[in-house]
Every structure is written in structure tokens, then in C-alpha cells.
Amino acid sequence: MNIFWFKRDLRLRDHEPLTRALDAGKPLLLVYFLEPSLVADPHYDVRHWRFVYQSLLDLNRQLKSYGAQILILQSEVVPALEAIHRHHKIETLFSHEETGLKITYDRDQAVARFCKKAGIDWQESQSNGVIRGLPNRDDWVQRWQQQMNAPQQNPDWSRYLLAELDPKVFWKFRGKPLPKSWAVQAGEFQVGGEAAAQRTLKSFLIERAEFYLDSISKPLESRRGCSRLSPYLAWGNLSVRQVYQATRTVQRTSHFQGQLRQFASRLRWHCHFIQKFESEDRMEFEHINQGFDSMVFSENEAHFLAWAEGRTGYPLVDACVRCLTATGYVNFRMRAMLVSFLTHLLNQHWKRGAVHLAKLFTDWEPGIHYAQFQMQAGVTGTNTLRVYNPVKQSYDHDPDGIFIRDWVPELRDVHPAYLHEPWKMPPLEREMTGFYPGENYPAPILELQTAARAAKKRHDRQRATELAQTENARILATHTVPGRLL
Ligand SMILES: Cc1cc2nc3c(=O)[nH]c(=O)nc-3n(C[C@H](O)[C@H](O)[C@H](O)COP(=O)(O)OP(=O)(O)OC[C@H]3O[C@@H](n4cnc5c(N)ncnc54)[C@H](O)[C@@H]3O)c2cc1C
């Protein structure tokens, strides 16, 4: 038999390796491995596995009409493949290439070794616009554009031949039933699946895109005005090409052409950041720019926890963390502000923060996440340092404090004049409202101006070192597209 291995590509449409697997004309087993090592990995959270499970249920609903089903095997990949091979002799294994953490890279190496030894042909297809083994970015944009304009690859299910897995193997790896609660929507988390992804895409392109640029920076408005396609792209309920082509089609007659142009450019960023990680995956563990290796970080546990739990005393920072914890989403600017608060103002190392936020983002995507995190933490040395002032962000992007009041109930009754800076509330006002900063809600854990000045000084000093400068040149040559702003 042949095997199709679903990874972060949980869809049935525009799917090159699935198309190839069906075209091979052999009995085909469709499998998703729920890997215990990945489930236990600190980057992952139940919100991710719920999204995956919802996606698989959705695919299986669609597959019913073809007499097909994706089996969920709760196992590491190699032992399960070994058992299947022993019973059935696998001829070809089909999958997408994955740009992931070291844990999935090592697993893929082990799978490659096993396949070689067992004589199994493992055929991997390119994921979206991310090119394996690319030495530089000289023609990356052109190749990305070609990939996006190429015809979609839709599997021909009339060619499907069922392969039945030996029940002994199935029962060995089936594992415990997954929680029933995973099948339904949890709170305000986005629901996984191709159907939900298509609905979200359509509602954005037809209705919500009108508000895109006005809402992109705002924590409240972005929840509706941004596309909210990130988890669907991260888990592969949609290919980037599907979204790109649908956008171009709508753009021809849309009243929001400018907004859609800006949106489409972010689809390229999606692949651009993953390409960085594909080319230099050590950034999961090390500074991209080794000139920052000698930087000294603070190890204040209380500060880290205050940030991670939304108790910094800065209302917008706390609102964002609490919202993220409860819903799996905040917009780009608020993510950048959270990183800036942790790494610049609190001078904490980016590593622990990157793992913490990965766990909270439903759209957790290793390539984008690590590349963005290091960029916002200023340790690439190639980007302008951005130290966000959380009070200014608050006045600019949540002026009426609606988002803050939603997520920080302690501040719900605070007068608008003090909502963004509750520590400024005069004693009389404190008496009248019964609100005492430092008691009902934390006093700020740092002094903004002093912390920002220190961060800029630290960064400038580090960036000026010879090693940081040499690295700077190397990074620009490897990861940027000549003459183009990505
Ligand atoms: C520290 C940090 C970590 C991040 N981690 C992730 C992550 O793990 N997964 C993830 O998908 N995005 C990540 N982002 C990028 C960005 O914040 C989200 O993609 C975006 O907020 C998702 O909302 P949306 O789908 O409504 O975006 P839209 O603005 O509607 O954009 C459409 C799509 O373009 C891509 N995109 C948008 N902005 C960016 C960007 N700046 N960089 C790369 N791709 C982008 C996403 O796939 C997104 O779904 C991170 C940003 C920062 C600052």
C-alpha cells in the first residue's frame, strides 16, 4: 500500500502531495500521527490539538462520500510506520515538506532513515512558497509569484483505492479516544477545519476587508477587520495559493482594492518568514545575529511571570495577554508590543517568551514565530529597534478603553481619564471609586522612560560590535531580497 501522511496541511483542496498520492493508483492509507512527543512539547497547547482534531473531523466528514477516512494514530511516526510496513509493505509515503522545530526536523530525519532502510520511497512536496535548499534570495520573489499563479492541485477522488489497516496495528496505535469537547467550539477560539477556513476567507474578501487598514493596529477592531486567516494557513486548512488567487479574483471588481493589495503582500511575508527559518533553523535556540550572544539579560522571575500572566500594571499589556490566553489571538502590533515589553523594557531573554507566546497563539507557526520574535527583540541587528511605549499604544489604539475594560475587569469602573495610566489617579478619586492601584490592580512593574532609555543604550552598544556588524552583512545577504522590501 501507499501512505499519505497529513502534517500541517489539513485540507483536501490545492494539495499537491495528496493529488500525487491519488494519481499513483495504489491502495492508499490516509494517516495523521498525533505524536506524544509533540503533544508534550512546551510550544504546544491543547488549543492547537483541538484545532487539529476539529480539522480532521471536518476532513473526515467530507471524505465519507468517497468511502475514505483519515486515521488518527497516537504514536511517534517511526514505530507506527514500522508496524504498518511489517503487516502491509509500504511502497510510497507521501507528505509535504515541513519547516518546523528541531523536534520535527529530527523526527523527519528518523523517518528518512527508516524509509531508506525499509526501501520505502518517501516523496515530499514543497509547502506553499517555501523552497528547500535555497542558497540565497536572488530569485525568491519570482519563484514565489510563479508558485502563487500556478494552477491549484485538486485531488481526483474518483481514483481513490481504499487500503485497510490491519486491526491489530490500528488498535495498538489508536490510543485513548480524544476528548469529545475538542469537537466543538471552545469559547472565543477559532474553529479548525476547511469549512470554517473557507467561510472566514469569503467573509473577509467580500465584507470585512473594507475595514482592514483602519483596524490592523487596533486590538479590538482587528478581531473583525483583519482576515483572521492565520490559524487556517498555519495548520494548512488553506494553502497560501488558494488565498492569493481568491484575493486576486475578488480584487478585480472590489471596492477595497488598496486594502486587498496590502493584505496580499502579507501572504508573501508569511512565506518569507518561514523561508528564513527554513534557511537558518538554529534561530529556535540562538540569536540570528551572533553579535548579540554576549548580551547580558535580566533573570527576574517575578517580572517574567507578571508579563506572562498579565499583571504588569500596564493596562494594554495586561489586556493583550489575558485576551490571548482566553482566545488565542491578538493582532500583529500588540504581539510586537508584548515582545518589546518583555525583551526591551524588562530586558528578558527572548527564548522563554517565544515558547510562552507560541503556546498561546492558535496560529503558532514555527517559522514566522521565531523569525518575528527575534526581529521584534532587536537581535537580528538588521532592523530598526522598536521600543513600543505601551501607554502611547493604549491612547492611540484603544482610546476609549473598550478592549482594556473587556479584559481587565479590575479597571472596568475606572474613570476614562485614568484608564490608560491608573497609577496617576489622585487620592480623592481613589477614595471616591474605591480603586487603589497597587492593591486592586498592580502598580507598574517598571518605570517606562528609564527602562526604554536603558534598552536603547544596551542595543546600540551591542549592535556596534564588530561581530554584530559582520553578522549584519551576512544576514542581509542570506535573508533579504535585493532591492525589494518584503
Ligand atoms: C512576535 C510575533 C510572533 C508571531 N507569530 C506568528 C505565528 O506564530 N503565526 C502566524 O501566523 N503569525 C505570527 N505573527 C504574525 C502576525 O502577527 C499574524 O500572522 C497576524 O496577526 C495574524 O492575523 P490575521 O490572519 O488576521 O492577519 P492578516 O493581517 O489578515 O494577514 C494575512 C496573513 O498574512 C500573514 N501575515 C500577516 N502579518 C504577518 C507578518 N507580520 N509576518 C508574517 N506573516 C504575516 C499571516 O499568515 C496572516 O494570516 C507573529 C508576529 C509577531 C510580532
d(CA 335, CA 402): 18
To test the pocket of ligand 1, the residue of 45, 332, 479 to mutate (highest count of ligand atoms within 8 Å of its CB) is 332
Arithmetic mean of pLDDT, 435-442: 93
pLDDT at 454 over 90: yes
Closest to 448 measured CA to CA, from 280, 312, 249, 298: 312
Atom 1, ligand 1: which residue's CA is nearest?
373
Atom 26, ligand 1: which residue's CA is nearest?
228
Ligand 1 lined by 88 (C-beta under 6 Å):
no
Digit-coded pLDDT (tens) for 356-371: 999 999 999 999 999 9
Say what the pLDDT of residue 389 is: 98
Ligand 1 lined by 262 (C-beta under 6 Å):
no
Q: How far is the CA of 438 from the centre of ligand 1 (A)?
A: 35
d(CA 155, CA 76): 27
Digit-coded pLDDT (tens) for 103-115: 999 999 999 999 9
To test the pocket of ligand 1, the residue of 230, 273, 355, 370 to mutate (highest count of ligand atoms within 8 Å of its CB) is 230
Digit-coded pLDDT (tens) for 117-142: 999 999 999 999 999 999 888 899 99
Ligand 1 lined by 331 (C-beta under 6 Å):
yes
The ligand 1 atom nearest the CA atom of 369: 5
Q: Residue 384 burial by CB count (10 A; 0-12/13-18/19+): exposed, middle or buried?
A: exposed
pLDDT at 225 over 90: yes
Say what the pLDDT of residue 387 is: 97
C-alpha cell at 363: 496560529
Digit-coded pLDDT (tens) for 40-82: 999 999 999 999 999 999 999 999 999 999 999 999 999 999 9
Q: How far is the CA of 352 from the centre of ligand 1 (A)?
A: 20
In the Cβ-directed half-sphere of 169, how many Cα atoms lie within 13 Å?
A: 17
pLDDT at 485 over 80: no
pLDDT at 486 over 60: no
Ligand 1 lined by 269 (C-beta under 6 Å):
yes
CB 133 within 8 A of CB 162: no
Ligand 1 lined by 322 (C-beta under 6 Å):
no
Fold of 130-151+194-277: 1.25.40
Fold of 290-479: DNA Cyclobutane Dipyrimidine Photolyase, subunit A; domain 3 (1.10.579)
C-alpha cell at 147: 508558485
Digit-coded pLDDT (tens) for 393-421: 999 999 999 999 999 999 999 999 999 99
d(CA 177, CA 430): 53
Ligand 1 lined by 335 (C-beta under 6 Å):
yes
Please give the radius of gyration of the chain, using alpha carbons only, rounded to the nearest integer. Answer: 24
Rounded (10°) angle between helices 466-479 and 257-279: 120
Quick check: pTM over 0.95?
Answer: yes
Atom 5, ligand 1: which residue's CA is nearest?
369
Say what the pLDDT of residue 483 is: 56
To test the pocket of ligand 1, the residue of 368, 373, 379 to mutate (highest count of ligand atoms within 8 Å of its CB) is 368
Q: How far is the CA of 230 from the centre of ligand 1 (A)?
A: 6
Say what the pLDDT of residue 420 is: 98
The ligand 1 atom nearest the CA atom of 234: 11
Domain spanning 2-125: CATH 3.40.50.620: yes
Ligand 1 lined by 223 (C-beta under 6 Å):
no
Atom 50, ligand 1: which residue's CA is nearest?
369
The ligand 1 atom nearest the CA atom of 216: 29
pLDDT at 244 over 60: yes
Say what the pLDDT of residue 106 is: 98
Give the H/E segment covering residue 145. helix 140-149
Digit-coded pLDDT (tens) for 226-242: 999 999 999 999 999 99
Q: What percent of the chain has pLDDT over 70?
A: 99
Ligand 1 lined by 364 (C-beta under 6 Å):
yes
Say what the pLDDT of residue 482 is: 63
Q: What percent of the chain has pLDDT over 90?
A: 93
Q: How far is the CA of 423 from the centre of ligand 1 (A)?
A: 33
Domain residue ranges in the chain: 2-125, 130-151+194-277, 290-479
To test the pocket of ligand 1, the residue of 190, 238, 266 to mutate (highest count of ligand atoms within 8 Å of its CB) is 266
Ligand 1 lined by 332 (C-beta under 6 Å):
yes
Ligand 1 lined by 240 (C-beta under 6 Å):
no
Atom 15, ligand 1: which residue's CA is nearest?
332
Residue in the structure block whose three cell numbers are 468517497: 66
Give the H/E segment covering residue 470. helix 466-479
d(CA 349, CA 303): 12
Arithmetic mean of pLDDT, 28-38: 98
Closest to 104 measured CA to CA, from 146, 76, 123, 145: 76
Say what the pLDDT of residue 484 is: 55
Atom 30, ligand 1: which residue's CA is nearest?
227
Ligand 1 lined by 311 (C-beta under 6 Å):
no
